[in-house]
Chains A and B, each alone.
Chain A
Amino acid sequence: MDLLNALVALSNFVLIPAIAYGSQLALGALGVTLIYGILRFSNFAHGDTMAFGAMIAVLVTWWMQSVGIGLGPLPTALLALPFAILGCMAFLLLTDRMVYRFYREQKAKPVILVIVSMGVMFITNGLVRFIIGPGDQRFSDGERFIISARDFKAMTGLKEGLAIKTTQGITVVVAVICVALLFWFLNRTRTGKSMRAYSDNEDLALLSGINPERVVMYTWLIVAALATTAGVLYGLDKSYRPFVYFQLLLPIFASAIVGGLGSPLGAIAGGFLIAFSEVLITYAWKKVLVYALPEGIEPTGLAQLLSTDYKFAVSFVILLIVLLFRPTGLFKGQTI
């Protein structure tokens, strides 16, 4: 029995990756939930918006690296992030002006807007591939680890190592800052309050003199910031490839819906719920159990519930269960 090693192994392979992944999902799901709450449609282009924003960050990072601007131990991409957010904001406002506004003026049904967003998704998809190509792009630099597995073993003398990547640390810190800023904005500022009012009851908001175009614009700006941040963090932590963001769409939507569409708090809870379920259910528990259980009753098999191939299926199943038994999601969002 060796509880300490069990705990370290569990943290290394489950807790830390899941927390980082959950933060990335939560940021993505916040964008989806804001658009659903205020513009009232499911934005399928969100994954590719993340890819677009991250693409600008990659390009700016490359430029900064080439002229020698850097952040020392931190990735240069953090410095490029504000520029990427500005670029993504411009892109989203442009698509809103060219595409969504037309349908908004027509008072188009949400389902039409969903299809429109799929069109935007495919265009963005193509645009990103056209500019940066479909392949893997490397743009992370700086210190790779806050603590590496080898150092941890040497430091503590334990058999198991614990690795915390710099990008994982940054992901969590940046996500916390983003969420704090967003909640402050929504609850404390005049614009934030008008956005919430517009989301709760559109007609009442209009009667009380809120300018709808202004609300829509602010929504897109915030969504651009969230999507770009999520995209850059994911790209830094894992790898940047346009197709990967398209695949992320499913867990992101699952997070937003599980938490309750339109509820920012729900999006965050949903993100972590999905991330932890995906990792916990597909993890092979053998190593942890061998350490944790007394000798003689430890498992000989892998003690794995589902093969890792079924990772995405886990988010699907959670989505189904929530939709069947609690259609408004955990935090009482809107029904779809």
Chain B
Amino acid sequence: MKKFLMATAATALMSGAAFAGGHAKEVKLGILIGFTGPIESLAPAMAAGAELAMKEATDSGLLLDSATVVPIRADTNCIDNGLATSNAERLISEGINGLIGGDCSGVTGAILQNVAIPNGMVMISPSATSPGLTTVEDNDLFFRTAPSDAREGEVMADVLKDRGITSIALTYTNNDYGKGLADAITTAFEAAGGEVTISAAHEDGKGDYSAEVGALASAGGDLLVVAGYLDQGGLGIIQSSLDSGAYDTFGLPGGMIGDSLPANVGADLNGSFGQIAGSGGEGIERLTALAGDAFDATSPYSPESYDAAALFMFAMQAANSTDPADYGPKIMDVANAPGEKIYPGELAKGLQILKDGGEIDYVGGSAVELIGPGESAGSYREIEVKDGKNETVGFR
């Protein structure tokens, strides 16, 4: 039965390829993200985003003499390094030409060190945000369409400054993400002339945060920035601060943005503000229209996934090769100016320009602009809680 299914699937694939252009050339892109684990709710929209771009390129018939792009999905579990690297090995042995992934910062580093570098495979992660990945030795094989948390620190400092905040108390969840983000916010805010009165860790999963809040209240500050998780200690800190009257306005970085926070805290959260990675404008609108009812293109990291797939295909087209060693150096070229701006749904146009020897500046769904060692400059949605809802009040 299994063999029969495989045979049917293979036939279907081959006939699909035949219809697409009558040419047998195939480009395989691995999609290695956490279909199980802590961000499993985000993974389906991310994979759908990447696959949408691949289908668009295939349908155009313009990529490398009408090649067919075939996605191969595999799981990282977000936090399971063993599973992620063994699945990455599997994808390599299946002959992928590029790897979209990993998703969470820890497994992404593991895949890069253990699989991508030894095999010379190019990786584009749509969602790894750890500042540590900026400086990692990657042989120019690692890119990401998600911004580093260091960038979020600068954005947060700008948001605070624009709102006339001069001093903050800061608490962070006691792990790599929280510590990294807290350091980034402290550095950026102090550079902008602000004062951080206290930077204290909190543990997730405790029943009682009154001691932590007591210390934070004593330090003082215009507001409290909570670099934690909205369903974890972050919620406890906010609840306890409001109960004791220690703070009534909060700064909310990405991990604290979600519908459940205003729902759980209630009206007292109104007026608090923050930011989360995401972009507005033409790119995301076009992508949403393109996705239609198939999936939610505004789901976190879904546009970044579409863009990761698109960057792979443009780079291959520019280099006229599917060999990572050839197309890898082209990724920065197609992502940045100069060149014609390319939005979602215009992949065919971009491929045609590159085929004719022109240049493109891919914008995509997340306003792609790669800086430094190949990571997104990062656009952020500025959020303010109004009437118990997270409202987008601007973009940065």
Contact = CB atoms under 8 A, between A and B. Distances in A.
Interface string B175-214: 0000000000000000000000010111101111011111
A286 B219 contact: yes
Contacts of A309: 174, 201, 203
Interface in A160-182: 161-163, 165
Interface in A276-305: 278-279, 282-288, 302-304
A304 B212 CA distance: 11
Nearest to A24: B208
Contacts of A152: 245
Contacts of A144: 243
B218 interface: yes
A206 to B, nearest CB: 42
Nearest to A12: B244
Interface residues of A, number: 41
B211 A243 contact: no
B262 interface: no
Contact of B207 (A150, A238, A303): A238
Contacts of B246: 13
Contacts of A308: 200, 202, 211-212, 214-215
A234 interface: yes
A30 to B, nearest CB: 20
Given A165-B243, A284-B198, A308-B200, A13 B207 contact: no
A311 interface: yes
Interface in B58-88: none
Contacts of A17: 210-211, 214, 244
A165 to B, nearest CB: 6
B244 A241 contact: no
Contacts of A279: 210-211, 214
A239 B236 contact: yes
A150 B243 CA distance: 10
Q: Chain A: interface secondary structure?
A: helix
A287 B207 contact: no
Nearest to B220: A287
A148 interface: yes
B218 A302 contact: yes
A14 B218 CA distance: 11
Chain B contact-residue range equals 20 to 34
Contacts of A21: 208, 210
B231 to A, nearest CB: 8
Contacts of A149: 243-245
Contact of B206 (A9, A161, A244, A285): A244
A324 to B, nearest CB: 26
A284 B214 contact: yes
A243 B204 CA distance: 12
Contacts of B212: 308
A307 interface: yes
A150 B246 CA distance: 10
Nearest to B244: A163
Among B202, B205, B207, B243, residue most surrounded by chain A Cβ atoms (within 10 Å): B207
Given A278-B211, A279-B211, A241 B220 contact: no
Contacts of B244: 12-13, 17, 149, 161, 163
A286 B218 contact: yes
A304 B245 contact: no
B139 to A, nearest CB: 39
B92 interface: no
A236 to B, nearest CB: 11
Contacts of A243: 205
Contacts of B213: 13
A170 to B, nearest CB: 15
B117 interface: no
B210 A241 contact: no
A307 B212 CA distance: 9
B207 A288 contact: no
B208 A238 contact: yes
B42 interface: no
Nearest to A302: B219
B291 interface: no
- Ranked 10 nearest A-B pairs via Cβ: A149-B245, A161-B245, A244-B207, A284-B218, A13-B214, A287-B218, A238-B207, A284-B215, A17-B210, A238-B208
13 contacts: A9-B218, A12-B245, A13-B214, A14-B214, A144-B243, A149-B245, A150-B245, A238-B207, A241-B205, A247-B206, A279-B210, A303-B218, A304-B215
Interface of B: 174, 198, 200-203, 205-208, 210-215, 217-220, 236, 243-246
Given A279-B210, A282-B214, A303-B218, 15 more contacts: A12-B244, A13-B210, A14-B214, A150-B245, A163-B243, A234-B207, A244-B206, A244-B207, A247-B206, A278-B211, A282-B211, A282-B215, A304-B215, A308-B202, A308-B215
